[in-house]
Amino acid sequence: MNSLPRFDAAWKTWLDQNIHRGCTHQSLIDAMVAADFHPNTARLILARHLAGDACDTPAAAAAAAAADASGYVYGTPMLPPGRVLVASDCEAPKLLSCAQPVVALLANVLTHDECDRLIEIGRERVRRSSVVDPDSGNEITIDERQSEGAFVNASTDALVGTIDRRLAELFQQPAENGEDLHILRYGVGGEYRPHFDYFPEEQAGSRHHMQRGGQRVATVILYLNEPARGGDTTFPAAGLTIHPRRGCALYFEYLNELGQSDPKTLHAGTPVEHGEKWIATKWIRRERFRAQQ
């Protein structure tokens, strides 16, 4: 059995050098995770390091241990039980489900005509995708995310309002807790490297976004087409790979009743190798979402 890595002087020097080089905080966390640090531990170490705290003290070691994988408690999932989820205009059978992390793939959530219409809406609006800067909370572009995206709502097209209501009914979440639907296009080589959808609460930039509806609790990815090759959704910590299937919805949740975030929901969009990939993402908040003015 391999021992857990220890944050020592060599790691401190490595962090100092790469922060000085301008590496993103998420890329530093990803590298530490690849070296067998638990994601929660890596985020905690980085936060304490940026704050100027010594990470090799007994207190820091105890805090890091508390953030280990065993710290996340799986309770009753928000995902409704049963083999088929039902909305007023849709019956969506579960093709796949997983308990740890909570993941489900549903069929027949969108019709082919609805997929085509969302792609059409997206082609008119998508621009280079951004991410949340961990320090400022501003939207920035990074190499780890190569896609084009656009946020749309019911004022953009009536179909978006229909889909918002359908997803709220299927997953039994208040419609007002959902962020605007985000349509995304990935061309050849387009990818989104391993990341979390929830906001790391130790990062200053997260507080800005959590004021608009609290923490994200779940994600729904709608597959609008099927790339000729590549473009899978993977969960490295769970050993799951989801192949895009037109009209299907991938659901996963990551916040429990204790307010803990599930590190096993680390996920990625693999590079598109041929053709293009279209998806629409709905992020669900803990409370009513307020769009930025």
Neighbours of 83 (CB within 10 A): 8
Greatest alpha-carbon pair distance for the chain in Å reads 59
Least confident of 139-153, 169-183, 189-203: 139-153
Residue type for 105, please? Answer: L
> Which residue, 47, 37, 18, 16, is CA-closest to 203?
47
Average pLDDT score over residue span 251-259: 92
Assign domain 84-285 one CATH number from 1.20.140.10, 3.40.50.2300, 2.60.120.620, 3.90.1010.10.
2.60.120.620
Least confident of 3-12, 205-214, 228-237: 3-12
SS (H, E, C) the chain: CCCCCCCCHHHHHHHHHHHHCCCCHHHHHHHHHHCCCCHHHHHHHHHHHHCCCCCCCHHHHHHHHHCCHHHCCCCCCCCCCCCEEEECCEEEEEEEEECCCCEEEECCCCCHHHHHHHHHHHHCCCEECCEECCCCCCEECCCCECCEEEEECCCCCHHHHHHHHHHHHHHCCCHHHECCEEEEEECCCCCEEEECCCCCCCCHHHHHHHCCCCCEEEEEEEECCCCCEECCEEECCCCEEECCCCCCEEEEECECCCCCECHHHCEEECCEEECCEEEEEEEEECCCCCCCC
Mean pLDDT across the chain: 86
Residue 55 pLDDT exceeds 90:
no
Residue 239 pLDDT exceeds 60:
yes
Least confident of 40-44, 160-164, 228-232: 40-44
Identify which has the larger pLDDT, 9 or 146: 9
Q: What confidence tier does 270 reach under pLDDT thresholds 50, 70, 90?
A: very high
Task: Return d(Cα 68, Cα 273) in angstroms, integer.
Answer: 35
Task: Return d(Cα 169, Cα 195) in angstroms, integer.
Answer: 28
Task: Return d(Cα 6, Cα 28) in angstroms, integer.
Answer: 16
Identify which has the larger pLDDT, 65 or 49: 49
> What are the structural domain ranges in the chain?
9-71, 84-285
Tokens 């598109």, residue located: 272
> Which residue, 232, 237, 213, 210, is CA-closest to 221?
232
